[in-house]
């Protein structure tokens, strides 16, 4: 169940422990429990409405589950505000792009550095001195993200004017600029053509391998999920129906019934 | 986007005016501002000072509405707080203006932050109504301000208009010109800097996408209050300058009409832009002045025109707002940008 090497299980970085979430009478998540191990790519799959995004929203603090705990590096993060969770090193991207549309790509990525910077209204307004030094230092880190994602040519463009695929890439960049220890990606390849999907898969693998960032990934493209992830959790109607390596999950009869369909098994 | 300019370090890449046409234009503006008072008579100096004060307040409102996306119709109230706190310090405690103006601005920032508290829960129109309450509460307190010792109006002694003890003698319009323009220049520099650094970016992030702003670590509540405080600081500055410049203040100058006038200014000038706020202030101050000059010129041929003037001015405001919303919702800033783009590509307009 561990990383690609199959060595002994390390300490999990995040423990999802009996998380249940209801909206009124609708039970979106029922007692979900699984571990996320450091440095791995953890996929979450499941049909539409299975609760994948709800689970991500619980982790990033946008939803508050009624039961259970989510422990990140030993600390229960349920009840913390989203900005406090961001400060712990959890970054995310959204299913429907949620960028700052009227700002440039660089400004969007610089906002990713927000938690690591310190200047406030007064020192920002005075600029020359402390704030300028800080801006330059963090701009250098942002430029590394720009290089990694190959978006040099659009760095000064307004985000709202970019194509869908590039916006998805910028959103990944903004999350990455936070230098997160855990990266939550909600359908990073939705609506992309196969070439864009390959690019995105390559970036995700680069991030995982070069920076050893733990990645939790929601994705519908089974080929991509089975290729790049270390562990897969399968949700259906708010229940965790399977958890394991891609091969284990592919062979699980409940998953085949619920999601993959009979031909896939053959 | 401008091409042919190559930056070799991040400091020059992040400069406010990286291109040479921008630098030439700013030098021209500075020369104009420095030369203007030596040629202008009192009427034009008064107009310029009115524009300067309005521009400071409009930039302040733009921080909140244009940049942070929190609609406020309480700006007139915050101007009143600045004017009356400076006025009371000057009239009752005989404090000079170089103390009252900063103290009043800071005090207004605090009051603004308090009235910004509802923004934690309210957005959009609901927040607008909450700020309307701020406007009405402040004016009510000033109107019934027997506790504060304010009658119908508050008169400031001329002795308090001095800078570090140096009295401003002679032509007050001329000497106030330098104080007001100096304040405006500092405001412009401060706010321009603010929006190329961390806190300013967080304000814009809240406007564009507040959920994403939270998730990348922006504390919405703190930053909304900061936006209210910063915005109100400049309202307080404008109010305090008004108090000392006019020498006499009454609450009637700061009613909801003023709040709406300032909203109109930033809509016409350009939301989320420092220069837009200045263009809006110029437009909204010059429009009634031009109309009254026009009426005076025509009073020979159309005898009753002067009695219609107030209606014409009101109508012109309304018409200007409607025309801008229909034809150029991004305001004068966008029109000016179109002009620049046209000439940059000229004579090949493709």
Report the CATH number that the domain containing residue B291 is assigned in CATH.
Answer: 1.10.3470
Cβ–Cβ below 8 Å for A111 and B199: no
Q: Which of B190, B199, B204 sits opposite A103 (nearest CB)?
A: B204
Asked if the structure places residue B171 within a domain, the reply is yes
Kindly tell me the sign of the dihedral angle through the C-alpha atoms of B252, B257, B263, B269. Answer: negative
Asked if the structure places residue A4 within a domain, the reply is no
pLDDT given for residue A1 in this prediction: 44
Cα B25 to Cα A221: distance, rounded to the nearest angstrom? 54
Q: Which residue of B has its CA nearest to A96?
A: B212
Q: Which residue of A has its CA nearest to B15?
A: A132
Q: Which of B194, B215, B218 sits opposite A60 (nearest CB)?
A: B215
Pair A85, A104 in one domain: no
Lowest mean pLDDT among A44-48, A90-94, A121-125, B312-316: B312-316
Pair A120, A159 in one domain: yes
Best A121, A122, A126, A128 residue to mutate vs chain B (most B CBs within 10 Å)? A121
Q: Which residue of B has its CA nearest to A172?
A: B216
Pair A79, A196 in one domain: yes
Kindly state the average pLDDT of the residues A229-239: 93
Kindly state the average pLDDT of the residues B296-322: 84
Domain residues for B310? 39-345
Cβ–Cβ below 8 Å for A83 and B220: yes
Q: Which of B190, B204, B218 sits opposite A125 (nearest CB)?
A: B190
pLDDT given for residue B273 in this prediction: 93
pLDDT given for residue B308 in this prediction: 82
Cα A188 to Cα A181: distance, rounded to the nearest angstrom? 18
Say what the ipTM of the complex is: 0.90
Checking if the pLDDT of A260 tops 70, the result is no
Q: Which residues of B119-155 are buried (b: 16+ CB within 10 A; e: fewer)?
A: beeeeeeebbebbbebbeebbebbeeeeeeebeeebe
Pairwise pLDDT comparison (A67 vs B307), residue with the higher score = A67
Pair A80, A200 in one domain: yes
pLDDT given for residue A8 in this prediction: 64
Pair A123, A142 in one domain: yes
With beta carbons less than 8 A apart as the criterion, state whether B207 and B15 touch.
no
Q: Which residue of A has its CA nearest to B226?
A: A121
pLDDT given for residue A2 in this prediction: 44
Which of A128, A163, A198 lies at the terminal end of a domain, its last residue? A163
Pair A112, A151 in one domain: yes
Count of positions (residues) in chain B: 350
Q: Which of A83, A120, A127 sits opposite B214 (nearest CB)?
A: A83
Checking if the pLDDT of A258 tops 60, the result is yes
Look at the block and give the residue holding tokens 């046409």. B21
The answer to whether residue A117 neighbours chain B at the CB level (below 8 Å) is yes
Checking if the pLDDT of A265 tops 50, the result is no
Kindly state the average pLDDT of the residues B159-166: 76
| Residue B308 C-alpha, separation from nearest chain A C-alpha, in angstroms | 43
The answer to whether residue A100 neighbours chain B at the CB level (below 8 Å) is yes
Pair A241, A124 in one domain: no
Pair A253, A198 in one domain: yes
With beta carbons less than 8 A apart as the criterion, state whether B228 and B75 touch.
no
- From residue B11, how far is each of A131, A133, B8, B192 by CA, in Å? 11, 9, 9, 15
- Confidence at A266, pLDDT banded by 50, 70, 90: very low
Share above pLDDT 90 across residues of chain A, in percent, rounded to a whole number: 79
Q: Which residue of A has its CA nearest to B190?
A: A125
Which of helix, strand or coil describes residue A69?
strand
The answer to whether residue A127 neighbours chain B at the CB level (below 8 Å) is yes
Cβ–Cβ below 8 Å for A139 and B212: no
Report pLDDT digits (tens) over A135-169.
Answer: 999 999 999 999 999 999 999 999 999 999 999 99
Q: Which of B199, B209, B229 sits opposite A100 (nearest CB)?
A: B209
- Confidence at B347, pLDDT banded by 50, 70, 90: confident
**Cβ-Cβ contacts under 8 Å, B198 against chain A:** 110, 113-114, 117-120, 124, 131, 134-135
Which of helix, strand or coil describes residue A170?
helix
Asked if the structure places residue A175 within a domain, the reply is no
Cβ–Cβ below 8 Å for B213 and A111: yes
With beta carbons less than 8 A apart as the criterion, state whether B328 and B320 touch.
no
Tokens of A155: 């760095």
Asked if the structure places residue A3 within a domain, the reply is no
Report pLDDT digits (tens) over A65-84.
Answer: 999 999 999 999 999 999 99
Q: Structural domain tally of chain A? A: 2
Kindly state the average pLDDT of the residues A81-101: 95
Q: Which has the closest alpha carbon to A244: A87, A88, A35? A: A35
Cβ–Cβ below 8 Å for A121 and B213: no
With beta carbons less than 8 A apart as the criterion, state whether B231 and B72 touch.
yes
Asked if the structure places residue A58 within a domain, the reply is yes
Which of A114, A137, A163 lies at the terminal end of a domain, its last residue? A163
Checking if the pLDDT of B152 tops 90, the result is no
Count the neighbouring beta carbons within 10 Å of the beta carbon of residue A42: 22
Pair A205, A260 in one domain: yes
Tokens of B86: 């400076």
A117 backbone φψ class: left, alpha, beta (φ>0; ψ -120 to 50): beta
Checking if the pLDDT of B115 tops 50, the result is yes
Q: Which of B193, B202, B205 sits opposite A126 (nearest CB)?
A: B193
Cα A194 to Cα B3: distance, rounded to the nearest angstrom? 33
Report pLDDT digits (tens) over B1-39.
Answer: 566 778 888 888 888 887 888 889 999 999 999 999 999
Half-sphere exposure (Cβ direction) of B50: Cα atoms closer than 13 Å: 15
**Cβ-Cβ contacts under 8 Å, B272 against chain A:** 102
Cβ–Cβ below 8 Å for B209 and A107: no
Checking if the pLDDT of A263 tops 80, the result is no
Tokens of A63: 């939803």
**Cβ-Cβ contacts under 8 Å, B11 against chain A:** 132, 136
Half-sphere exposure (Cβ direction) of A251: Cα atoms closer than 13 Å: 4
Asked if the structure places residue B33 within a domain, the reply is no
What is the rounded average pLDDT for all residues in chain B? 90
With beta carbons less than 8 A apart as the criterion, state whether A67 and A18 touch.
yes
Q: Phi then psi for A240, rounded to 5 degrees?
A: -85, 110
pLDDT given for residue B147 in this prediction: 63
Checking if the pLDDT of B124 tops 90, the result is no
The answer to whether residue A101 neighbours chain B at the CB level (below 8 Å) is yes
Domain residues for A123? 100-163
Helix/strand/coil (H/E/C) assignment for every residue in chain B? CCCCCCCCCHHHHCCCCCCHHHHHHHHHHHHHHHHHHHHCCHHHHHHHHHHHHHHHHHHHHHHHHHHCCCCCCCHHHHHHHHHHHHHHHHHHHCCCHHHHHHHHHHHHHHHHHHHCHHHHCCCHHHHHHHHHHHHHHHHHHHHCCCCCCCCCCEECCHHHCEECCEECCCCHHHHHHHHHHHHHHHHHHHHHHHCCCHHHHHHHHHHHCHHHHHHCCCCHHHHHHHHHHHHHHHHHHHHHHHHHHHCEECHHHHCHHHHHHHHHHHHHHCCCCHHHHHHHHHHHHHHHHHHHHHHHHHCCCCCCHHHHHHHHHHHHHHHHHHHHHHHCCCHHHHHHHHHHHHHHHCCCCC
Q: Structural domain tally of chain B? A: 1
Q: Which of B87-101, B142-156, B225-239 has the highest mean pLDDT?
A: B225-239
- Confidence at B304, pLDDT banded by 50, 70, 90: confident
**Cβ-Cβ contacts under 8 Å, A135 against chain B:** 10, 14, 196-198
- Confidence at B294, pLDDT banded by 50, 70, 90: confident
Lowest mean pLDDT among B78-87, B117-126, B272-281: B117-126
Asked if the structure places residue A38 within a domain, the reply is yes
Task: State the first-to-last Cα distance of chain B, in angstroms, to the nearest integer.
Answer: 14
Which of A131, A163, A195 lies at the terminal end of a domain, its last residue? A163
């Amino acid at each position: 169940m561990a990383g690609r090497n199959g060595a002994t299980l390390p300490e999990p970085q995040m423990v999802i422990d009996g998380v249940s979430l209801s909206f009124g009478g609708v039970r979106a998540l029922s007692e979900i429990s699984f571990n996320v191990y450091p440095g791995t790519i953890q996929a979450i799959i499941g049909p539409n409405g299975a609760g994948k995004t709800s689970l991500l929203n619980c982790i990033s603090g946008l939803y508050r589950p009624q039961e259970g705990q989510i422990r990140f590096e030993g600390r229960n993060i349920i009840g913390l505000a989203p900005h406090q969770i961001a400060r712990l090193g959890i970054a995310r991207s959204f299913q429907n792009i949620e960028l700052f549309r009227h700002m440039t790509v660089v400004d969007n990525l610089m906002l990713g550095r927000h938690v690591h910077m310190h200047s406030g209204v007064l020192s920002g307004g005075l600029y020359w001195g402390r704030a300028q030094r800080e801006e330059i230092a963090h701009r250098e880190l942002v430029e590394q993200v720009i290089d990694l994602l190959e978006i040099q040519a659009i760095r000064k463009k307004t985000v709202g004017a970019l194509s869908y695929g590039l916006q998805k890439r910028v959103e990944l960049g903004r999350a990455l600029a936070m230098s997160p220890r855990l990266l939550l990606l909600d359908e990073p390849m939705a609506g992309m053509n196969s070439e864009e999907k390959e690019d995105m898969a390559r970036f995700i693998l680069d991030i995982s391998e070069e920076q050893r960032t733990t990645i939790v990934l929601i994705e519908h493209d089974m080929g991509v999920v089975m290729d790049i992830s270390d562990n897969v959790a399968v949700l259906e109607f708010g229940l965790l129906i399977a958890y394991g390596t891609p091969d284990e999950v592919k062979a699980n009869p409940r998953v085949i019934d619920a999601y993959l369909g009979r031909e896939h098994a053959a | 986007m401008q091409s042919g300019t190559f930056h070799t370090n991040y400091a020059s890449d992040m400069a406010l005016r990286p291109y040479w046409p921008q630098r030439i234009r700013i030098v021209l503006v500075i020369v104009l501002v420095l030369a203007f008072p030596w040629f202008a008579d009192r009427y034009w100096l008064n107009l310029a000072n009115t524009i300067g004060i309005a521009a400071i307040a409009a930039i302040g409102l733009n921080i909140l509405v244009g940049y942070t996306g929190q609609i406020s119709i309480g700006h007139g109230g915050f101007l009143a707080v600045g004017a009356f706190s400076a006025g009371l310090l000057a009239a009752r405690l005989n404090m000079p203006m170089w103390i009252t103006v900063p103290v009043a601005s800071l005090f207004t920032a605090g009051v603004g932050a308090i009235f910004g508290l509802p923004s934690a829960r309210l957005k959009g129109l609901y927040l607008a109504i909450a700020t309307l309450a701020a406007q009405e509460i402040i004016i009510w307190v000033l109107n019934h301000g027997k506790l504060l010792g304010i009658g119908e109006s508050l008169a400031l002694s001329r002795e308090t208009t001095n800078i570090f003890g140096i009295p401003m003698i002679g032509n007050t319009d001329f000497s106030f010109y330098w104080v007001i323009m100096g304040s405006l220049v500092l405001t412009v520099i401060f706010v321009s800097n603010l929006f190329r650094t961390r806190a300013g970016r967080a304000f814009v992030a809240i406007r564009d996408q507040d959920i994403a702003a939270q998730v990348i670590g922006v504390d919405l509540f703190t930053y909304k209050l900061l936006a209210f405080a910063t915005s109100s600081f400049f309202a307080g500055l404008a109010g305090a300058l008004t108090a000392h410049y006019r020498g006499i203040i009454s609450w009637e100058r700061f009613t909801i009409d003023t709040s709406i006038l300032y909203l109109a200014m930033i809509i016409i000038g350009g939301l989320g832009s420092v220069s837009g706020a200045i263009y809006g202030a110029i437009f909204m101050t010059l429009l009634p002045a031009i109309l009254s000059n026009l009426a005076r010129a025509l009073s020979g041929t159309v005898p009753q025109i002067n009695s219609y003037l107030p209606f014409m001015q009101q109508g012109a405001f309304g018409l200007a707002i409607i025309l801008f919303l229909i034809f150029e919702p991004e305001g004068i800033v966008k029109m000016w940008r179109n002009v620049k783009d046209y000439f940059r590509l000229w004579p090949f307009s493709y």
